[in-house]
């Protein structure tokens, strides 16, 4: 809604946001009572809902959100260690960054260190990610949990917190990424056979996780993977009007009807057809995220006063850059990925010097950079 400046979408979401923020428990807990009382894995909905709060805050600066999240987590009504409950680490650390309250960081680290994996799989523990063993986990869960270590790295600086997810996604690419650029997962991670498939849910969760790997490592390969998944795997599983999609999508599927599911999971049913809600509501809510995931990672800061054009598309960004933190606007004009020419217009009231990083896609063998119509005489 905010990306499109769509007031109807924003208001639709804001009704839920306002209700939750205006009805906390006395201890600060946010959300339904039944989620507060069940300490298995049902705090995962908080992690998902709080992403919406984080996005709304980034767009509006709503001053209610940060203190409300801090009170919620500091109520300590859950250890956030069981199954996907651990995904709350993402919002904990986001809140810590904005409050500086060390207790939130301690809670996140403690939850990570005491994680009780879903289905008792070792693949998403620190030890499992660092090993060379093939990943054995539910596909969406792997992406939801594995990224947390990369996020933690930004706050702890511990090398193993980055090495673990980097190694885990190397193994995923080796064993379980399909031709459309998305990991297999039906529902568990499978292999990379031409007839393996993935949930549509895997596309947004995979690309969201890769965004954190990109931020933590600075390696362009993760942007390449986001691009590949968003431009191939995502659109392949969704109708062009986004009103129907596949629960399971396969790059080599040629028949889509009520009996064409060829996976071991629910074989012979209609989960590979296009429909508005084929079997599970999670994909219905999730399918809308993969293109916003791409947009959210298009522009980044380099931490030294510079800008990074990490993913390409028509866009405009205004930011403060350079040592003097001078405001500049960069306008990107392109038809990418349908054309390979990209033009950046840098608009500034006064002369300014700042780094501008341009990602060269892994598929591009002969890049050329022109500055004011003249070739940049620098080795690429």
What angle (nearest 5°) sits at the alpha carbon of residue 277, between those of residues 274 and 279?
A: 95
- Among 194, 179, 202, smallest CA distance to 262 is for 194
- Name the strand (E) or helix (H) holding 200: none
Could you tell me the two tokens for 200? 């549509």
Sequential pLDDT tens for the chain (380 residues): 998 899 999 999 999 999 999 999 999 999 998 898 876 557 889 999 999 999 999 999 999 999 999 999 999 899 998 888 999 999 999 999 999 999 999 999 999 999 988 766 889 999 999 999 999 999 999 999 999 999 999 999 999 999 999 999 999 999 999 999 999 988 899 999 988 999 988 999 999 999 999 999 999 999 999 999 999 999 999 999 988 999 999 988 888 888 988 888 888 888 888 888 877 777 888 888 999 999 999 999 999 999 999 999 999 999 999 999 999 999 999 999 999 999 999 999 999 999 999 999 999 999 999 999 899 876 55
Tell me whether residue 238 is exposed, middle or buried, using C-beta atoms within 10 angstroms of its C-beta: 0 to 12, 13 to 18, 19 or more. buried
Rounded Cα distance between 353 and 5, Å, is 32
Other Cβ atoms less than 10 A from the Cβ of 257: the count is 10
- Tokens 């986004």 — which residue? 242
Rounded Cα distance between 262 and 193, Å, is 13
Rounded Cα distance between 187 and 265, Å, is 7
Other Cβ atoms less than 10 A from the Cβ of 242: the count is 11
Are the CB atoms for 189 and 202 separated by under 8 Å? no
CA atoms within 13 A on the CB side of 147: 25
- Tokens 């906390």 — which residue? 24
What are residue 235's phi and psi, to 5 degrees? Answer: -60, -30
pTM score over 0.75: yes
- Tokens 């990369």 — which residue? 150
Q: What Rg value do the Cα atoms of the chain yield, rounded?
A: 21
- Among 227, 218, 372, 380, smallest CA distance to 308 is for 218
């Amino acid at each position: 809604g905010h990306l499109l400046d769509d007031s109807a979408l924003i208001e639709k979401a804001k009704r839920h946001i306002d209700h939750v923020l205006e009805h906390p428990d006395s201890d600060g807990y946010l959300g339904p009572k039944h989620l507060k009382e069940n300490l298995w894995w049902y705090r995962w909905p908080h992690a998902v809902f709080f992403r919406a709060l984080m996005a709304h805050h980034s767009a509006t600066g709503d001053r209610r959100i940060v203190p409300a999240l801090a009170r919620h987590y500091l109520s300590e009504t859950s250890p956030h260690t069981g199954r996907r409950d651990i995904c709350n680490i993402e919002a904990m650390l986001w809140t810590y960054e904005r409050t500086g309250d060390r207790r939130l960081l301690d809670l996140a680290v403690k939850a990570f260190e005491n994680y009780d994996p879903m289905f008792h799989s070792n693949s998403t523990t620190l030890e499992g990610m660092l090993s060379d063993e093939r990943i054995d986990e539910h596909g969406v869960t792997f992406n939801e949990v594995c990224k947390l270590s990369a996020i933690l790295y930004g706050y702890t600086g511990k090398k193993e917190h980055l090495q673990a997810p980097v190694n885990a996604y190397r193994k995923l690419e080796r064993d379980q990424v399909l031709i459309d650029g998305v990991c297999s997962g039906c529902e568990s991670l499978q292999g990379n056979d031409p007839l393996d498939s993935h949930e549509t849910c895997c596309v947004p969760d995979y690309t969201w996780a890769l965004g954190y790997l990109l931020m933590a490592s600075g390696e362009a390969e993760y942007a390449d993977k986001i691009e590949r998944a968003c431009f191939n795997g995502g659109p392949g599983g969704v109708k062009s009007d986004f009103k129907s999609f596949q629960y399971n999508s396969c790059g080599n599927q040629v028949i889509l009807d009520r009996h064409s599911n060829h996976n071991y999971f629910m074989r012979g049913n209609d989960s590979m057809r296009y429909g508005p809600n084929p079997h599970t509501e999670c994909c219905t809510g999730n399918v809308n995220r993969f293109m916003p995931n791409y947009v959210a990672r298009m522009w980044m800061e380099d931490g030294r006063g510079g800008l990074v054009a990490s993913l390409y598309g028509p866009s405009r960004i205004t930011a403060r850059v350079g040592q003097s933190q001078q405001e500049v606007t960069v306008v990107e004009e392109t038809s990418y990925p349908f054309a390979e020419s990209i033009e950046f217009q840098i608009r500034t009231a006064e002369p300014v010097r700042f780094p501008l990083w341009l990602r060269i896609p892994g598929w591009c063998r002969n890049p050329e950079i022109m500055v004011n119509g003249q070739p940049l005489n620098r080795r690429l």
